[in-house]
Structure 1
Amino acid sequence: MQLGIHLPHIGRKAGPESIRRAAIQAEQLGFDDVWVSEHIIVPQSSPYPPSPNFWDPVVTLTWAAAVTSRVRLGTSVLVLPLRHPLPLAKELATLQNLSQGRLILGAGVGWLEAEFDALGVPFQQRGRRMDEGIAMMRAVWSDDPVTFEARWIPARIDTMRSQPLPVVPIPIWIGGGSDAALRRALRQDGWHGSRVPPDKAAALVRRLRAERPEPGFTISLRVSCNAANVGGMRDTLAAYRDAGVQHVMAAPEDRGLEDYLATAEAFRRAGDRL
């Protein structure tokens, strides 16, 4: 089983030095990848997310890439319908090349309607815009010149060019637990679920493997942990492994950086004892 760790780019512990230290620690401890999340703007009264201090995910991963050489770089997840696919495709291709092919694009449709309203994106169209956005980015990443007929996203692309192309293809893992998200994941390179307990994971794995049995289709889960519960994480990881989950990413909830670093190390040790 592969293990990832979420970088401290959210809340009061976010900052250049904390992200740098965490990324370097992750590589030294043998984590397979480091991860970031996304919210662009949130209502003041919103109970979740608990902090509005979200450092930009793509820029954060670029910072992490500059101080590492091996760990992969993942998004958990980018809210694709909030972004226009053309500049995002350029940013992601650039990061893929700067990092020498280490990027994983975790993508989701989003759920916070007020965030869509603030950005002028129709909330009810988010699924269609996501599907079209993925298709547009894949076209831009593979065709030079590229022609793409868009329906839901404002774009006119007729025999145009966008470089650089990614040095290697960028895998796309779809986040979310709805039927629509699972169907969307089956059309891409992997599924990146969240808040799925081990006793529920096996059924989801069977459902996905019935259509995508090949090992190259990755089944990944995000789990929360902190200093209080990381000690019992070994049994949780073993249960996920037995259910057929290939990859688990831990998102430490500790508010202070030193506690975060200790939790990350304990989580890595739990994985080593499997």
Structure 2
Amino acid sequence: MQLGIHLPHIGRKAGPDSIRRAAIQAEELGFDDVWVSEHIIVPKDAGYPPSANFWDPVLTLTWAAAVTTRVRLGTSVLVLPLRHPLPLAKELATLQNLSNGRLILGAGVGWLEAEFDALGVPFKQRGRRMDEGIAMMRAVWTQDPVNFEAQWIPATIRDMRAQPQPVQPIPIWIGGGSDAAIQRALRLDGWHGTRTPPEQAAALVKRLRAERPGPDFVISLRVTCNQHNVALMRDALAVYQDAGVQHVMAAPEDRDIDSYLATAEAFRRCGQGL
């Protein structure tokens, strides 16, 4: 089973030195990948997310890519309906090429309606805009020239060019536990779930493998950990592995960088031998 770690680009521990140290540590410890999340703008008194200090995910991964050579670079997740697919496709293709093909696009529809309102994006159209956005990005990544008929996203693309195209395909893993999210994931390259306790993993894996049995479809889970519970993670990881989960990414909850680094190291030790 492969293991990833979330970078410290959120909250008071976020910063260029923290991100650099965490990315280098992840590579040295043998993690398979490093990850980031996304919120663009949040309500002042929101109970969640706990901090409005979200450093941009694509730029954060570019910073991490510059100080590493091996670890993959993942998003957990980009809220695709909030972004116009054309500039995002350009950013992701550039990152894929700068990193020599290490990017994994974890994507979700989003849930914070106020964030959609602030950006002028219809919240109730987010699923349709996400599907169309993925199709549009895949078109500009693979066609030259590109033609695309858009219905939900303002775009007119007729016999146009978008360079550079990715040096290799960017895998798309879909986050979310709703039926719509799972069905969307099954049409793409992987499922990146959250809040899935170990005792529920086997049933979810069985459901996904009934439709996508091949190794080309990745089943990934995101978990949280901190210095108080990381010792319990080895048993949980063993259950996930036995259930058929291929990848687990841990998001340390520690608020300062030294505690984060210690938790990341402890989590990696928990996964040794799995």
TM-score, normalised with respect to structure 1: 1.00
Q: How many residues align?
A: 274
- Residue 208 in 1 paired to residue 223 in 2? no
Distance apart, 1:160 and its partner CA = 0.2
- Residue 124 in 1 paired to residue 124 in 2? yes
Counterpart in 2 of 1:68?
A: 68
Whole-Å separation in 2 of the counterparts to 1:166 and 1:255? 35
Q: Secondary structure of the residue that 2:170 maps to in structure 1?
A: coil
AA partner of residue 255 (structure 1): R
Q: Secondary structure of the residue that 2:196 maps to in structure 1?
A: coil
Counterpart in 1 of 2:267?
A: 267
Counterpart in 2 of 1:35?
A: 35
Unpaired runs of 5+ in structure 2? none
Distance apart, 1:45 and its partner CA = 1.1
Greater than 3 Å deviation, 4+ residue runs: none
AA partner of residue 198 (structure 1): P
Counterpart in 2 of 1:96?
A: 96
Aligned-residue CA RMSD (Å) = 0.4
Counterpart in 2 of 1:222?
A: 222
Whole-Å separation in 2 of the counterparts to 1:216 and 1:152? 30
Whole-Å separation in 2 of the counterparts to 1:250 and 1:180? 24
Counterpart in 1 of 2:108?
A: 108
- Residue 198 in 1 paired to residue 206 in 2? no
Q: Secondary structure of the residue that 1:216 maps to in structure 2?
A: coil
AA partner of residue 164 (structure 2): P
Counterpart in 2 of 1:59?
A: 59
Distance apart, 1:82 and its partner CA = 0.0
Counterpart in 1 of 2:133?
A: 133
Q: Secondary structure of the residue that 2:271 maps to in structure 1?
A: helix
Q: Secondary structure of the residue that 1:240 maps to in structure 2?
A: helix
Counterpart in 2 of 1:245?
A: 245
Whole-Å separation in 1 of the counterparts to 2:93 and 2:187? 21
Counterpart in 2 of 1:26?
A: 26
Whole-Å separation in 1 of the counterparts to 2:216 and 2:24? 27
Whole-Å separation in 2 of the counterparts to 1:189 and 1:103? 13
Q: Could you list the per-position Cα deviations for residues 134-176 of structure 1 after superposition, in whole angstroms to 9, with x for gaps in the alignment?
A: 0000000000000000000000000000000000000000000
Whole-Å separation in 1 of the counterparts to 2:180 and 2:203? 16
TM-score, normalised with respect to structure 2: 1.00
Whole-Å separation in 2 of the counterparts to 1:122 and 1:207? 31
Distance apart, 1:69 and its partner CA = 0.1
AA partner of residue 252 (structure 1): P
* Contact 1:8–1:22 under 8 Å retained in 2: yes
> Where does 1:166-177 land on structure 2 (aligned, <5 Å)?
166-177=166-177
Q: Secondary structure of the residue that 1:173 maps to in structure 2?
A: strand
Identity, in percent, stands at 83
Distance apart, 1:245 and its partner CA = 0.4
Q: Could you list the per-position Cα deviations for residues 87-124 of structure 1 after superposition, in whole angstroms to 9, with x for gaps in the alignment?
A: 00000000000000000000000000000000000000
AA partner of residue 136 (structure 2): M
Distance apart, 1:232 and its partner CA = 1.1
Q: Secondary structure of the residue that 2:262 maps to in structure 1?
A: helix
* Contact 1:234–1:273 under 8 Å retained in 2: no
Counterpart in 1 of 2:187?
A: 187
Distance apart, 1:273 and its partner CA = 4.0
* Contact 1:226–1:254 under 8 Å retained in 2: yes
